[in-house]
Amino acid sequence: MISFFDDKTSPWMENLPYDWHEVYSLGQTIPYQKHESIFHQDQAAKHVYVVLQGRIRLFLTTPSGEEKAIAIIGKGGLLGECGLFDHPTYNNGAITASKATLLKIPVERFKEAFSTNLTLAHQVLRFLDGKNRILASHTMQLSFYSAAQRICFTLLQLGSTYGKGIEGKRIITVRFTHQELANVVGTSRVTVAGTMKELERRHILSKDGGLYVIEDEEMLYRSVLDGLSM
């Protein structure tokens, strides 16, 4: 794999290795339907959430109401952890991207456990480091890449983080929709659909059983560097 993409900056934070069992007794388990709001940007940060099942989209909202997705958080991720560091409000919004089950914990109870349990604190900091890498990657992409380049870059990130190599190809083992990809890279679903179609036409990308397959990793990498003329 091309080393530039080995830093695990994929905006899909899924299959996370964290174990939050030590805080399970501190909160309550709540089921959510797809597209249900969990909290809003600038709302008082009174709770921290652990994702037990499902996917959650984190996003920023401009004063005019426009949204920019930050990341998709899956099982084992945290939401609203800014409250652990005395930030009075949530610095982003969170909405379910699928049916989900969350553990809702009062921030003061989580903070107490965080301050006395080194293992728990280490996990929180590792999670925050991952989010920081994603934000740095977002900044770089929006500054220098076109929408098509950002799509190709994100596919390489997904391949690096969740890819399974088989016979010279790389299967991306997490499922995602064109709309989810559009939200993350900051473009329209139509642009994503057109770019994916062009990648398939060039035999750079294919789809098998609902999963995307990177057929030619080197050409996908070149599409990031040189752009993808269509």
Q: What residues contact residue 70 under an 8 Å CB cut-off, 6+ apart?
A: 11, 58, 59, 60, 92, 131, 134, 135, 138
Same domain for 95 and 180? no
Strand 67-73 relative to strand 12-13: parallel, antiparallel, unpaired?
Answer: parallel
Q: Among residues of the chain, what percentage have pLDDT more than 90?
A: 71
In whole angstroms, what is the distance from residue 59 CA to residue 138 CA?
A: 12
pLDDT exceeds cutoff 60 at 152: yes
Domain end, chosen from 113, 141, 169, is at: 141
Give tens-digit pLDDT for 128-151. 999 998 888 888 888 899 999 999
Helix count and strand count (H, E) for the chain: 6, 13
CB 196 within 8 A of CB 204: no
pLDDT exceeds cutoff 60 at 92: yes
In whole angstroms, what is the distance from residue 216 CA to residue 213 CA?
A: 9
pLDDT of res. 224: 92
In whole angstroms, what is the distance from residue 148 CA to residue 135 CA?
A: 19
Give tens-digit pLDDT for 39-84. 999 999 999 999 999 999 999 998 988 888 899 999 999 999 999 9
Same domain for 129 and 53? yes
Burial class (CB in 10 A: 0-12, 13-18, 19+), 173: middle
> Is there a domain that residue 175 lies in?
yes
pLDDT band at 8 (very low <50, low <70, confident <90, very high): low
pLDDT band at 11 (very low <50, low <70, confident <90, very high): confident
In whole angstroms, what is the distance from residue 87 CA to residue 162 CA?
A: 32
pLDDT exceeds cutoff 50 at 1: no
> Is there a domain that residue 64 lies in?
yes
In whole angstroms, what is the distance from residue 80 CA to residue 134 CA?
A: 16
CATH number at residue 20: 2.60.120.10
Same domain for 52 and 78? yes
